[in-house]
Amino acid sequence: MLSLVLSFVLNDRLIGDRLKQYVQGNMIGRGKTIIQAYEQYDPSNRDALMTGLMALPNYSVRLIDEEGKLLHGTSMPSGPHIEVLPDQLDLVLKGGVYRDSGRHGFRSTVGLPLRIDDKPYALFLTSEFGDFARMLSGFFRNLLLIVLLFGSFFILISARYIVRPLRRLTEATRKMSKGDFSIRLRTKRKDEIGQLTESFNQMAHELGTLEHIRQQFVSDVSHEIQSPLTSIKGFTQALKHKKMDEAGRLRLLDIIEDESNRLSRLSNDLLQLASLEYEHLALNVKPFRLDEQIRNVIIASEPQWAAKKLDIELELGEIRIAADEDKLKQVWMNLLSNSIKFTGEHGRISIKANAEDGEAEVVVTDDGQGISDEEIGSIFKPFYKVDKSRDRAIGGNGIGLSIVKRIVDLHRGDIHVTSKVGEWTTFRVILPLTAPPNETQKNL
């Protein structure tokens, strides 16, 4: 309706201006015809000619001499007579053509010069076109109303076509809010509604996957906690109700201590993983020598790799990096302990590091049992263990590599794994040498 009102206003203005230009052009043409006829007629018949011209419908014709005297003239059939002002008359007598400015509504006047016997005269023509303008304006108004009628009808039809899938999306969203992530919407549309439907299906799939991971995570945590608790409870009861020698008692106490430490490590790893998942976690970024940090981690882990008589090969270039030193230390500790854990006695672990093109690359390779291609994509998931049959012998809770992946992601880096079952496994970590953007930098 607002568009229709604006169209009415513009329609009246445009039609009035265009019609006035057309009428003025037409009057100028007729005026020139009158001047030619007047000049060609015999002076004795000029009065009869002007009398005939005065009878033209919707026209007022006035002939004025240089002294301002009206020689011939009539008023409009309707409305008051429009007076010729002195400046207008002076313009025409000097040879100019006068066009009115349009302040008289649907009435327009033009003035044309002519010379008779070398004397200047002014011919003024006035036309009334209000009835025609109103008829034309009414026609366009009716046309706009017809457009509004049909347009509204087609908008209602198209609105139903658009709203139907939106209602389906709304109903599907309600079901999803109640925990039903299996819902899928079918569509053949390729427009924005179709794209929205596809995005909704993708979101439902992702949320369903996340829900499954959450449930699996809760199940795994419960299992990891329940197992040591059951051991602690059983051995505690054994200590209370059974008589045993000192060696047996100490053996049970050692088991209880180990299981308690296992629970403590699990709790710390879960807290650490939860803190790393916090979206706005600020990194304590500062410059340090990455190669020196890796050497220190290897020295600190000597009891573990020395007990299995492993050979450690180092090839470290001098690397200066700006990153969170404590968190990167956890990365190397987890990767090295993982390699030690899955490498047999007298095995070999190779660690290489270099910097190039603004990035640091650290490669950790062991000749352990390896990882199958099917399992490589899952090793960074919490509680995922490659060899579940050897959980107790190998140890660990399956969170270490999840922590590694999250820390590398926080540093805007990347980690890749390649392996051959029974022969070797390689972890390749790539980190930017400069501080990650949009992170809180301290002590830099």
3-state DSSP call for residue 415? strand
Helices (H), 120-191: 130-177
Every domain of the chain with CATH number 3.30.565.10 lies at: 279-432
* CATH architecture of the domain covering 192-274: Orthogonal Bundle (1.10)
- The per-residue pLDDT for range 261-288, each reduced to its tens digit, is 878 777 776 776 666 665 456 678 899 9
Which pLDDT does position 147 carry in this prediction?
83
Element (H, E) at 22: helix 2-40
SS3 labels along 286-298: EEEEHHHHHHHHH
Q: Is residue 440 over pLDDT 50?
A: no
Which pLDDT does position 388 carry in this prediction?
46
Every domain of the chain with CATH number 1.10.287.130 lies at: 192-274
- The per-residue pLDDT for range 169-190, each reduced to its tens digit, is 888 888 888 888 888 888 888 8
List, as one string, the DSSP characters of 50-76.
Answer: HHHHHT-TTEEEEEEETTS-EEEE---
Which DSSP symbol is given to 254?
H
In CATH terms, the fold of domain 2-134 is: Beta-Lactamase (3.30.450)
Which pLDDT does position 368 carry in this prediction?
85
Mean pLDDT for the chain? Answer: 78
- The per-residue pLDDT for range 73-88, each reduced to its tens digit, is 665 555 445 677 888 8
Where is pLDDT greater, at 364 or 87?
364
Element (H, E) at 269: helix 246-276
Whether domain 279-432 has CATH 3.10.450.50: the reply is no
- The per-residue pLDDT for range 394-419, each reduced to its tens digit, is 445 567 788 888 889 888 899 999 98
- Band (pLDDT 50/70/90 cuts) for residue 360 is very high
Which pLDDT does position 312 carry in this prediction?
92
Can you tell me the distance from the alpha carbon of 352 to that of 429, in angstroms, rounded to the nearest whole number?
Answer: 10
- The per-residue pLDDT for range 135-162, each reduced to its tens digit, is 776 777 788 788 888 888 888 888 877 7
Task: Identify the bridge partners of residue 60 per DSSP, sorted by sequence position.
Answer: 126
Which pLDDT does position 56 carry in this prediction?
55
CA angle 173, 175, 180 (to 5 degrees): 115
Which pLDDT does position 51 carry in this prediction?
55
CA angle 424, 429, 430 (to 5 degrees): 145
- The per-residue pLDDT for range 291-339, each reduced to its tens digit, is 999 999 999 888 888 889 999 999 998 999 999 898 899 899 889 988 8
Can you tell me the distance from the alpha carbon of 55 to that of 44, in angstroms, rounded to the nearest whole number?
Answer: 19
Which pLDDT does position 41 carry in this prediction?
60
